[in-house]
A and B are shown apart, each in its own frame.
Chain A
Amino acid sequence: MKRILVLALRDLRIEFRGRSGLLSALFFLGVVLLILGFALGPEENDLRRAAPGVLWVALAFAGSLLAGRVWAVEVENGTLDDLLLTPGSREWIYWGKFLFLWVLLLLVALVLLFMVAGMFYLPLDRAPGLFLTLILGATGYAAVATFYAGIVVRLSTAQLVLPILVFTVVVPVILAAVRATVGLAEGAAMAEVASWWKFLAAFDLIYLTACSLLFPFVIEG
């Protein structure tokens, strides 16, 4: 447990010192929102209706940038083998990396939420519900992205393959998250939104369990 935190904190510290990954993800978000705004606007009603979709599309794109960062530190410094050689089972490496990506995603998602609220008029009056949706969505996304980023990390074509893999497998999470956000934005009954939350939570649980159990078999030192 302690190892997981140490690994995640170390990666976060490196990421914040370097800033390049996080900054480029945020910049990219801004550009995506601009393009979508131009494409869908400027009618206020159109933008409002598109807002939940825009939120998750932008987050998914930015997430695939961040996913590349998860193992980048190890590859750049040649420390992946050292990490894999640490005695004990390897699940904790997955959990550490997952935690790292999860925190990054949530930070980006929080910024994004306010950007979308500003530019696309996403109503924030049910903010706690939106936060919960973001947390559940980011969990599923990070679970899958960490896993696949680990599989392809040694490939020269990793940057090419990773988005294809992550996007296809993560589609159900994005769909459910969009539905929940639409429900919250358009004032749907709590029961309807909650059914999507349940779906998301089930997904997160299945993906996290499956990925963390499979990870030691799939990653090779």
Chain B
Amino acid sequence: MEPKRAKQRLDPLTQGLLWVGFLTLAAGLFFALKAPPDVQQGYLVRILYLHVAAAWTGYLAFIVAGVYALLYLVREDPRFDRLSAASAEIGLWLSLLMVLGGMMWARPTWGVYWVWEPRLTSVAVMVAIYAAYFLLRQAIEDPEMRAKAAAGVAILGVINIPITYMSVYWWRSIHQTASIDIINRRVNMAPEMVTALLVNLLAFTLIYLGFLRLKGMLAEMGAREEEQSG
């Protein structure tokens, strides 16, 4: 029997986040194309606006996944587990986008798609951890056990994020240090570039939040259906 499905609409907040997010993304694209080319890299620098925005939002998504995982362990509310998984999944996609963009940029700049240097290695480890996270979720049937095991990975996974972020400072790395340098409180780029980057960053964050809510809702519906049929 087809489960009875009410005609569901997205709630206004999720809709708003996604709409504003995509509009901001369009604006970000405009600013990115308007920003001047780089002295050394020329127009190639424009990959940065996507690459850095995806990287930051990816870190954010993984940290949020860790926080929800911790909340799940303390409160044992399945909602937190669903949100943690949703956040980790978006984070994984964002990280893959970041890696892909980075590779497109690296080929003409460094001459190769990939080198084994600290930043790239630590990113590879980060992506591997969250890929393993979903392998683990697949492997466990029992929802409660799945949630607990996944939380164990999501929380320990967060430890890698500061290492990834700091890797360009701690070790001699071929990768650029941050353009908006939080550690040394410096901005190493032209103002128009900063605008473009920040607008893109805002767009990615809004879209991330929208998708997080959306995916959380979808997961909740899935869980309810599973409960009814099982």
Interface set of A (CB-CB < 8 Å, partner B): 144, 147-148, 151-152, 154-155, 157, 160-161, 164-165, 168-169, 171-172, 175, 206-207, 210-211, 214, 217-218, 220
B149 x A151 contact (CB < 8 A):
yes
Q: Across the interface, which residues of B come within 8 angstroms of A220, CB to CB?
A: 144-145, 148
Binding-face segment, B77-85, B107-115, B122-130, B200-208: B122-130
Q: Across the interface, which residues of A come within 8 angstroms of B156, CB to CB?
A: 144, 147, 169, 207, 210-211, 214
B51-94 interface (Cβ within 8 A of A): 73-74
16 extra A-B contacts, CB within 8 A, seeds A164-B132, A172-B160, A214-B156:
A147-B152, A151-B152, A157-B140, A161-B139, A164-B136, A165-B132, A165-B153, A168-B128, A168-B129, A169-B153, A169-B157, A171-B125, A171-B128, A217-B148, A217-B151, A220-B144
Query: Bound complex: CA of A210 vs CA of B139, how far in Å?
Result: 24
Cβ-defined partner of B148 (8 Å) among A164, A211, A218: A218
In the complex, whether B159 has a CB less than 8 A from a CB of chain A is yes
A218 x B159 contact (CB < 8 A):
no
Query: Bound complex: CA of A157 vs CA of B144, how far in Å?
Result: 16
Q: Across the interface, which residues of B come within 8 angstroms of A207, CB to CB?
A: 156, 159
Q: Across the interface, which residues of B come within 8 angstroms of A155, CB to CB?
A: 139-140, 145
Query: Bound complex: CA of A169 vs CA of B136, how far in Å?
Result: 13
Q: Across the interface, which residues of A come within 8 angstroms of B48, CB to CB?
A: none
The DSSP consensus for interface residues of chain B is helix
Query: Bound complex: CA of A168 vs CA of B135, how far in Å?
Result: 12
In the complex, whether B163 has a CB less than 8 A from a CB of chain A is yes
Q: Across the interface, which residues of A come within 8 angstroms of B155, CB to CB?
A: 210, 214
- Across the two chains, which residue of chain A brings its CB closest to B151? A218
Q: Across the interface, which residues of A come within 8 angstroms of B152, CB to CB?
A: 147-148, 151, 214, 218
In the complex, whether B41 has a CB less than 8 A from a CB of chain A is no
Q: Across the interface, which residues of B come within 8 angstroms of A154, CB to CB?
A: 145
